[in-house]
Amino acid sequence: MYALRSLFHIRPNKTLLNKSLYVIHKKVQLAACNVLCKFKHTTELLEFIESEEEDELYKVISNQYIGVIAGGHKVFLLQPYIKWGKDKKRNTTSELQMAESVALVESLPYWNVIDKAFAPLLSFQKKKLLGSGGLDNFVKMIKQNRQITAVFISINLLKHIQRIELQNILGLPIYDRYSIIIHIFREHAKTPEAKLQVALAELPYIWKKMGEVYDQHSGQINFDENRKKLLRTRESKLKKALEKLKENKKYSRNRRKKIGLPSIAVVGYTNAGKSSLIKVLSEDESLKPRNQLFATLDTICYEGLLPCRQKVLYIDTIGFIQDVPEMLLAPFIVTLEDAMISDVIVHIFDISHPDMKAQFQHVEKVIKPMLKEHQSVIYVANKCDLIQKFDIDENMIAISCKDLTGIDELKLKLEKEIFKATGRSVKRIRVKSGSLASTWLHKWTTVINLEPDTDDPQYMFFDVLATDLTINEFKRFLKQ
């Protein structure tokens, strides 16, 4: 079983293991044996090997372009936004964007925002980003506060020239959203898989910055060939490892299907409560939800039981966020796509969040193209304990992972959708107690109830949860 858990990143669930009705089918154990050999092989492939020298050189390059997070920073946060025109954001406000930027900074250890300002602009293209008046004010605000040790300009990507110009004027390190999120990712990645994805996510940023330096000097700068070679080799090694990861995902998905474990993927905006919901549904105490953006980077499966005692896998996923370049999240799409092949998708959103509408729309836009036809999505409005009044569509369920409002209703809905998606239904079958047929049913179906036949005590009624396919197999078995 250990190998099976490792392959699917299934956390052992002590609460469930202690429940007497919790049965691990022989069939799962058998599959686990097969999986063991494959998994050992895969871990080796996922290991990313670089020499100490290469590692040191990469550190120098990445520190130069992405910066270091040091032992913390007291941050001045500048929130630029487009005042008007076609690029003006219409489904959110600059105040809400500012609040999210603060949360990003404070997701890093010992980083705090100690001062902040808005920058209404017509475009983000200027060499120093701001016009001369705006720039004077900005510099004044920063020079006035001697505690400030870094500046976060909350736009997707600053151009290299913008960063260097502002860095020279202010004498402080400058970060944009991409570089801040990379640092959060580096802090939060735990599994080899997530570390690999983060390592790959930072390379386009470095390439882009290097390219801009080259353009800025009209091609006169000749980058050290060693550096370019190192980056190319690193990129190709990481891509290969990611390809292996893709294969491995496909393999584990197929095994999951074969074993017949239904799966439920929980997706949503970062901090919506995905991990909290899985913790409530699976009763798995190892899950530790945190009030941080991108707390979860690893796609991990957790076991749980539906009300009918059918075992299911809940898949936790990386959260979504607006205003980041696609190339930053691209390496994580592999695991997200894998999760999206689940039988049922739960899209959870934070109903109490002032920017809820924009967050919801953003997630919908990303997941829509990944959904299969007829794939069932359950919409869950979380954190309803934090607001008095709310308005949701009738196909949505309001819940609170904190005071457990709506959880029973959600469990029943999940059960219904899993039955529908996997073609399972409850069937009543009469078999002789202790017969081979009764052993077969225990082995290949989920037995949810047993009742003696009062007319003939030698027989029992089995209420089993199974697909039509399994029932046909049972009929064939009886004919043997």
Ligand X SMILES: Nc1nc2c(ncn2[C@@H]2O[C@H](COP(=O)(O)OP(=O)(O)OP(=O)(O)O)[C@@H](O)[C@H]2O)c(=O)[nH]1
Question: What tokens appear for 307 in the block?
Answer: 């009300």
Q: What is the rounded distance in angstroms from the CA atom of residue 266 to the CA atom of residue 97?
A: 25
- Which one of ligand X, Mg ion, none interacts with residue 245, CB within 5 to 8 A by kind? none
Q: What is the rounded distance in angstroms from the CA atom of residue 430 to the CA atom of residue 458?
A: 10
- Which of 119, 306, 401, 441 touches ligand X by CB under 6 A? 401
Q: What is the rounded distance in angstroms from the CA atom of residue 299 to the CA atom of residue 190?
A: 11
- Which one of Mg ion, ligand X, none interacts with residue 376, CB within 5 to 8 A by kind? none
CB of 400 to Mg ion, least distance (A): 17
Q: Is 422 in the site for ligand X (CB under 6 A)?
A: no
Q: Assess contact for 319 and 296: CB atoms under 8 A.
A: yes
- Which one of ligand X, Mg ion, none interacts with residue 179, CB within 5 to 8 A by kind? none
Q: Which is nearer to ligand X, 134 or 289 (CB)?
A: 289
Q: Is 299 in the site for Mg ion (CB under 5 A)?
A: no
Q: Which of residues 258-277 bind Mg ion (CB under 5 A)?
A: 274-275
- Which of 42, 197, 296, 445 touches ligand X by CB under 6 A? 296
CB of 9 to ligand X, least distance (A): 15
- Which one of Mg ion, ligand X, none interacts with residue 291, CB within 5 to 8 A by kind? ligand X
Q: How many CB atoms lie within 10 A of CB 185?
A: 23
In the chain, the largest separation of any two C-alpha atoms, in whole Å, equals: 95
Angle in degrees, 0-180, between the axes of helices 26-46 and 225-259, rounded to the nearest 10:
180
Q: What is the rounded distance in angstroms from the CA atom of residue 96 to the CA atom of residue 98?
A: 5
Q: What is the rounded distance in angstroms from the CA atom of residue 68 to the CA atom of residue 76?
A: 16
Q: Assess contact for 270 and 363: CB atoms under 8 A.
A: no
The CA R_g of the chain, rounded to the nearest whole Å, is 26
Question: Token pair 């670089």 is at which residue?
Answer: 50
Side-chain half-sphere of 405: how many Cα atoms within 13 Å? 14
- Which one of ligand X, Mg ion, none interacts with residue 147, CB within 5 to 8 A by kind? none
Q: Which is nearer to ligand X, 77 or 321 (CB)?
A: 321
CB of 282 to ligand X, least distance (A): 13
Question: Token pair 């896998």 is at which residue?
Answer: 313
Q: Which is nearer to Mg ion, 345 or 460 (CB)?
A: 345
Question: What tokens appear for 319 in the block?
Answer: 């959260």
Q: Candidates 56-64, 125-133, 290-298, 355-363: pick the segment binding ligand X (CB under 6 A).
A: 290-298
- Which of 97, 252, 263, 276 touches ligand X by CB under 6 A? 276
- Which one of Mg ion, ligand X, none interacts with residue 92, CB within 5 to 8 A by kind? none
Q: Is 385 in the site for ligand X (CB under 6 A)?
A: yes
Output the residue with the shortest Cβ distance to ligand X: 319
Q: Candidates 117-125, 173-181, 229-237, 399-407: pick the segment binding ligand X (CB under 6 A).
A: 399-407
Q: What is the rounded distance in angstroms from the CA atom of residue 198 to the CA atom of residue 228?
A: 19
Residue type at 86 in one-letter notation: K
Q: Which of residues 232-271 bind ligand X (CB under 6 A)?
A: 268, 270-271
Using CB under 6 A as the criterion, which residues of the chain lie in contact with ligand X when the complex forms? Answer: 268, 270-276, 289-296, 319, 382-383, 385-386, 400-402
